[in-house]
A and B are shown apart, each in its own frame.
Chain A
Amino acid sequence: MSDEKTKAVKRLKALTPARIGVGRAGTRPATAALLSFWADHAEARDAVKGDLSADFVEKFCHCYQAVAVHSTVQNRDEFILFPPRGKRLCTEDEKMLISRFGSDVYDVAIIISDGLSARAVEENLPDLYPMLLDGFSPANISVSPLVIVHHGRVAIGDQIAHLAGAKVAINLIGERPGLSCATGLSAYITYNPNPQTTISSDRTVVSNIHAGGTPAVEAGAFIVKVVERILAVKVSGVKLQAIS
């Protein structure tokens, strides 16, 4: 390739993390490109298969008086094979949460779920969670005790928030990893969450939270504004979009 073309390809490659201009050797990918593909793929698989580290859970439980719970799933393979089982709490933890929440009511319940990337949770939450607390406290928005879910999917947030008697559920959950990013986090926000009635379109989503997308601190500040608005207008999801 001429110098000029190499330069142009370099500039194009700088615009995207996608695998463009990787070259080839005969009919096969070049070794370097193949290795980096394998590495990224391995990283994505690790993110999906990985559990939340004991360190992280312990630190959060210690700093923020969080409590760790499990869905009905026993292990990671079952979690991936049977998605509905990750949407409900195991009976034991459900009972435990009921007694922990007691009869108090809250404006907001914050739930942290590993989802499909425990790494996303570990990388973003230490910066995102304190931003939420900093935002809610001066606005006099009450927050229920923090819950960390092992093997949790989106809907489990609604169940937990419902148990807490919270008006709004915020489920901060690791996104399905891609080949260019394994640490993306999303926030699923539901007004009046109820596992019997809540459907996907009731949830407002803030996605793409990671170092290469919306930084965790900024996402935290933004989620506070979204929740303030949801509490004011008493709807979320597509209904919120319709009145905005």
Chain B
Amino acid sequence: MNLADLNKDTLLSVGIDIGTTTTHLVVTSLKFSNVARPTQINALQVTDKEVLFESTVYRTPLTEAGLIDAKAVAMLIEQAYAEAEAKTGRNMKAVQTGAVIITGESARTRNAAQVLEEIAELAGEFVVESAGPNLESILCARGSGAQALSKAESMRVLNIDIGGGTSNFAVIDNGAITSTAVNFLAGRAIIFDQGKIAAISRAAQDLCREKNINLTISMCESECQAQLSLLAAEMAEAICTSADNYSDNNLDLIVISGGVAEIMATLSLYKDFPSAPEKNVEHIVGDNPYNDFGIYLARALTTRLERSDKPYSLAANAIRATVLGAGMHTLQLSGSTIEFAQESLPLRNLPLLKIDAKDSTKLVANIKQALAHKELDWSKTPLTLALTGLDAAGLQYQNMKSLAQELARAHCDLKGCEPLVVTTAEDIGMALGSLLKRLIPDKRIITVDGIAIEDGDYLDIGRPLHSNSSSDQYTAALPVVVKTLIFYKN
């Protein structure tokens, strides 16, 4: 690595994906710079992303009880970090951002919190920990390249990331992720052990019951090929039906990523060589390394998609979609004219309250209502007020001033914790911040703009970034991550 890479205009980022079946990580470098024209106020944006290191895809270590083995995972990651240091020459202690994502069904296991705790210290300062599959859906859609494609081609794209435990759906309209969903039809529906069925997931059991497919524990894999294929076909059908439902049957393209897509890609590669021993699973993709249903599902899904008239494609680097998304696409940069109490950063897991600020006389009532709705006590929990509904009139001086007054009043009346954190989409962070500072000078205030919050539950805010190419010292951008909870759709 040359010296230029060590300047302050890059962020070292890590993405760690602890899935139902596999665990792996990537190390990436995010370059950010000032994209504003001279004489205009600075605007920092991530302008370049580079993958520095991709780890081996490890099997996720599990305990006897079927939980993620937190200690073993931490050791794996430590080992991968050492490898990354050796390969890239970077000090992994300098990792500034990224995400640890516990994905799929394993997110539902009881020790997710413990796993994150084991890794948190190791991972880096502003590395987001998440066990929420909604964020996973978003990250997959970004990591698979589906979002970039949708934006470049002005298309409506559905990304389906089919992993071991879950299938994550994200609808992307012209580059904007408009909805996400998840279900439990995935590669680990059935686990084989020494040629016999060792486990059947609940989702697969339900499907078997519904479709009268006779599959039970300890049946021989070789003897129930017909049932397995039937289940795979039904599962592929169900995934495609879900795809239609989630996207209102209005799509330009389906992009498939995840471990199952990786197998589909391998299968299609062999299809081009007629001499290859076709249909013999064992020969095509090695000897089913994960000993699960992924291979069956991959074949059925290929058949099902070939049959439909919908265009689809497999993501390049399919199995790494989540981890690439986690490493490269977690953070947004705020606008650069903002107000922040540096000593309060970074902030993590701030509950997010969307507040209609169109009429500032109703602001206090709106905040009270939102607090009651989320059952939060502002005096105990620091939180973020995401102001919405500001129009051109709202940006006028008099209205901004009353908005600041009402915010200050709400913060005092409700005995809100410090720092007072406010976000807006409109470019008014510094104005609102300085008005607030005049009103409540001894309180810590953070006003962040340029952050569009569609649907979020928690917010993380990192330390400020300055750019070499910025022409001043009074502008800085804050890295912000909006995390969302899952919403299930059946």
Residue of B nearest to A220 (CB): B431
A60 to chain B, nearest CB (A): 14
Q: Decide if B431 touches A131 in the complex (CB within 8 Å).
A: yes
Q: Decide if B434 touches A224 in the complex (CB within 8 Å).
A: yes
For A224, list chain B residues within 8 Å (CB): 434
Known pairs A138-B438, A186-B39, A217-B428; A127 contacts B472 (CB<8 A): no
Known pairs A207-B39, A225-B430; A8 contacts B154 (CB<8 A): yes
- Say which residue of A11, A135, A205 sits within 8 Å of B154 (CB atoms): A11
- Say which residue of A130, A221, A244 sits within 8 Å of B433 (CB atoms): A221
Stretch in contact with the other chain, from B299-307, B360-368, B395-403: B395-403
Known pairs A134-B438, A221-B337; A215 contacts B39 (CB<8 A): no
Interface string of A195-236 (1 = CB under 8 A from B): 000000000011110010111111111101110110000000
Q: Decide if A207 touches B473 in the complex (CB within 8 Å).
A: no
B443 to chain A, nearest CB (A): 15
Known pairs A7-B154, A131-B397, A226-B474; A215 contacts B430 (CB<8 A): no
| Residue of A213, A218, A229, A244 with most partner-chain B CB within 10 A | A218
A212 to chain B, nearest CB (A): 10
For A208, list chain B residues within 8 Å (CB): 39-41
A178 contacts partner chain B, Cβ-Cβ < 8 Å: no
Residue of B nearest to A217 (CB): B431
A126 contacts partner chain B, Cβ-Cβ < 8 Å: yes
Q: Number of A-B pairs whose CB atoms are under 8 Å?
A: 88
- The CA of A12 and the CA of B449, in the complex, are separated in Å by 25
B1 contacts partner chain A, Cβ-Cβ < 8 Å: no
B406 contacts partner chain A, Cβ-Cβ < 8 Å: no
For A226, list chain B residues within 8 Å (CB): 472, 474
Known pairs A7-B154, A217-B397, A229-B473; A206 contacts B39 (CB<8 A): yes
For B431, list chain A residues within 8 Å (CB): 131, 215, 217-218, 220-221
- The CA of A190 and the CA of B70, in the complex, are separated in Å by 60
For A216, list chain B residues within 8 Å (CB): 395, 397
Q: How many residues of B are in contact with the other chain, CB < 8 A?
A: 29
A173 to chain B, nearest CB (A): 13
A27 contacts partner chain B, Cβ-Cβ < 8 Å: no
For B40, list chain A residues within 8 Å (CB): 206-208, 213-214
For A214, list chain B residues within 8 Å (CB): 40-41, 337, 427
A96 to chain B, nearest CB (A): 30
Known pairs A205-B39, A208-B40; A221 contacts B474 (CB<8 A): no
Q: How many residues of A are in contact with the other chain, CB < 8 A?
A: 36
- The CA of A134 and the CA of B436, in the complex, are separated in Å by 11
For A222, list chain B residues within 8 Å (CB): 41, 337, 430, 474
- Say which residue of A11, A126, A138, A218 sits within 8 Å of B430 (CB atoms): A218
A190 to chain B, nearest CB (A): 14
Known pairs A7-B154, A186-B39; A130 contacts B397 (CB<8 A): yes
B372 to chain A, nearest CB (A): 31
For A241, list chain B residues within 8 Å (CB): 471-472
- Say which residue of A11, A130, A220 sits within 8 Å of B174 (CB atoms): A11
For A220, list chain B residues within 8 Å (CB): 431
B471 to chain A, nearest CB (A): 5
For B474, list chain A residues within 8 Å (CB): 222, 225-226, 228-229
Known pairs A134-B438, A206-B39, A221-B434; A215 contacts B427 (CB<8 A): yes
For B396, list chain A residues within 8 Å (CB): 126-127, 217
Q: Decide if B429 touches A244 in the complex (CB within 8 Å).
A: no
Residue of B nearest to A186 (CB): B39
For B433, list chain A residues within 8 Å (CB): 221
- The CA of A222 and the CA of B431, in the complex, are separated in Å by 8
CB contacts under 8 Å to A, within B423-476, are 426-431, 433-435, 437-438, 441, 449, 470-474
B203 to chain A, nearest CB (A): 37
| Residue of B174, B400, B433, B435 with most partner-chain A CB within 10 A | B400
CB contacts under 8 Å to B, within A11-26, are 11-12
Q: Decide if A211 touches B397 in the complex (CB within 8 Å).
A: no
Q: Report 22 cross-chain contacts, Cβ distance below 8 Å, ordered by A residue.
A: A11-B154, A126-B396, A134-B438, A186-B39, A207-B40, A208-B40, A211-B395, A214-B40, A214-B337, A215-B395, A215-B428, A215-B431, A217-B428, A217-B431, A220-B431, A221-B337, A221-B431, A221-B433, A221-B434, A229-B472, A240-B472, A244-B472
Q: A138-B437, A138-B441, A214-B337 are in contact. List 17 more A-B contacts (CB 8 A).
A: A126-B396, A126-B397, A127-B395, A134-B438, A211-B392, A211-B395, A215-B395, A215-B427, A215-B428, A215-B431, A216-B397, A217-B397, A218-B429, A219-B41, A222-B41, A224-B434, A244-B473
